[in-house]
Structure 1
Amino acid sequence: MNLIYIHGLDSDSNSTKGLLLEQYCQQYYPEISVFRPDLNKSPVQVFAQLTDLVAESGNVSETVLIGSSLGGYFATLISNHTGCPALLLNPSTQPHITLQRFSNNTILEATTDNIKSSDQVLHTTTGGWKITCADLQWFAEHQLQSVHYPTKVAVLIKEGDELLDPSLSKVFYQQQDTAVTLQAGGDHRFSDFSEQLPMTINILQKLVGVKI
């Protein structure tokens, strides 16, 4: 089995959850390979990189995406595109709306010489992704409308998520007939992820339909 961990907005390939997942698999499931790509780049590049990673795995049915926050959004897109299973942690479902906060932080006078261009940098994440107007437009053009393979997708949502509205993710994925698990309390970062790793592996096992 191959696991591709897709980090969130202000993170990178060395994200806490990604490292915990890899270390856990190395200790208890050495037959599982964990990939932790750095995705601090434009969404069109992220989509292409993840699609290539899935293709290179050689077995789509046994390659699982694990996406956190914005990574959950990308995991859903890639699952729709490739048919591979996906586990989502506090997934973002409306980045075309939530990321507009960066555009609002950039105050420009509407003059012919000072209008936001597509390559204008609105915000730089801690991982180094320079978010542009073109990126926001890409998200607007690639909104999540459906889940093409609902039986291959599972969602874990913390009701205590302080960054994203958990009800939005819950409603969207439940309407798509995916398996949604709501957990009381918690936070956006899934700070108790280390304690949930045995359950996480069990979910992955069910998604791929094989015993590991």
Structure 2
Amino acid sequence: MFLYIHGFNSSSQAGKAQELKRWLEARHRGHEWIAPDLPDRPAQAIALLSELIERAETPPKLIGSSLGGFYATHLVAQYKLKAALINPAVHPGLLLRPVVGTVQKNWHEESQTYTFTQDHLDELIALDQLSPQHPQNMLLMLENGDKTLDWRDATGYYRDAHQLVFQGGNHGFTRFRDVIDLIDRF
């Protein structure tokens, strides 16, 4: 079973989430796909993801993209699951500080807006870890062409995790289709 965790202001309609769904369906494993639309509040998102993990019949493998990679890192510490982290956000409480007070909208449903507040930031800071726990359970995948997040921050933070750094690409991780099989075997 795979639990896909989307990034900041994204949804289950994200390209990687849908690519994973198609990959699983082509192998008659569509029932293994879970990709919830997460609330914008980090504490609520973690509560929803924790509930899905605890209700699962078998421990899911996490795939977290961007902010979803940060959430997956927290969940690995809590549940000792395996996770593939795709261009993950490192210390998003620092990264997102400049957007406090701004109106945000969902990439896939532009009518869904909210104001990013200090409470959002405080919840991210509360979830952060000085260093990731159980790094042996993490497969870090980065494209160094990511202009949204600096890939070098992730290689340093996840230094004890399994790492693959690809040349070029972007924040959306252009090689996702090519690495699903590897993620499945991890």
- TM-score of the two chains, using structure 1 as the length reference: 0.80
Q: Is the 8 A contact 2:64 2:71 kept in 1?
A: yes
Deviations 1:62-104, CA, capped at 9 Å, x for gaps = x11100000000000011111111100000011011111212x
CA RMSD of aligned residues (A): 1.6
Residue in structure 1 matched with residue 118 of structure 2 by the alignment: 133
**Matched residue type, 1:159:** N
2:62 aligned residue (60, 65, 70): 65
Secondary structure of 1:141's aligned partner: helix
Residue in structure 2 matched with residue 189 of structure 1 by the alignment: 172
Residue in structure 2 matched with residue 34 of structure 1 by the alignment: 33
Distance in structure 1 (CA, Å) of the matches to 2:154 and 2:62: 17
Larger Rg computed on CA atoms: 1
Q: Is the 8 A contact 1:87 1:204 kept in 2?
A: no
When residues 154 and 137 of structure 1 are mapped into structure 2, their CA distance, relative to the original with a 3 A threshold, is same
Q: Is the 8 A contact 1:66 1:86 kept in 2?
A: yes
Task: Please list every run of 5 or more consecutive structure 2 residues that lacks an aligned counterpart in the other structure.
Answer: none
Deviations 1:114-144, CA, capped at 9 Å, x for gaps = xxxxxxxx33232536222101111122222
Q: Is the 8 A contact 1:158 1:187 kept in 2?
A: yes
Residue in structure 2 matched with residue 95 of structure 1 by the alignment: 92
Deviations 1:5-61, CA, capped at 9 Å, x for gaps = 11111311111110010011110252761111001321010010001111111222x
Residue in structure 2 matched with residue 116 of structure 1 by the alignment: none
**Matched residue type, 2:150:** D
Residues 1:161 and 2:146 are matched in the alignment:
yes
1:1-212 correspondence runs (5 A): 2-30=1-29, 33-60=32-59, 63-103=60-100, 106=101, 122-126=102-106, 127=109, 128=112, 130=114, 131-174=116-159, 177-194=160-177, 196=178, 199-206=179-186
Q: Is the 8 A contact 1:93 1:144 kept in 2?
A: no
- TM-score of the two chains, using structure 2 as the length reference: 0.90
When residues 129 and 54 of structure 1 are mapped into structure 2, their CA distance, relative to the original with a 3 A threshold, is farther
Tell me how many residue pairs correspond in the alignment: 181
Secondary structure of 2:174's aligned partner: coil
Distance in structure 2 (CA, Å) of the matches to 1:149 and 1:80: 6
Distance in structure 1 (CA, Å) of the matches to 2:28 and 2:95: 37
Secondary structure of 1:5's aligned partner: strand
**Matched residue type, 2:158:** Y
Q: Is the 8 A contact 2:89 2:149 kept in 1?
A: yes
Task: Please list every run of 5 or more consecutive structure 1 residues that lacks an aligned counterpart in the other structure.
Answer: 107-121, 207-212
When residues 29 and 156 of structure 1 are mapped into structure 2, their CA distance, relative to the original with a 3 A threshold, is farther
When residues 184 and 32 of structure 1 are mapped into structure 2, their CA distance, relative to the original with a 3 A threshold, is farther
Secondary structure of 1:156's aligned partner: strand
Residue in structure 2 matched with residue 111 of structure 1 by the alignment: none
When residues 187 and 51 of structure 1 are mapped into structure 2, their CA distance, relative to the original with a 3 A threshold, is same
Q: Is the 8 A contact 1:123 1:132 kept in 2?
A: no
Identity %: 27
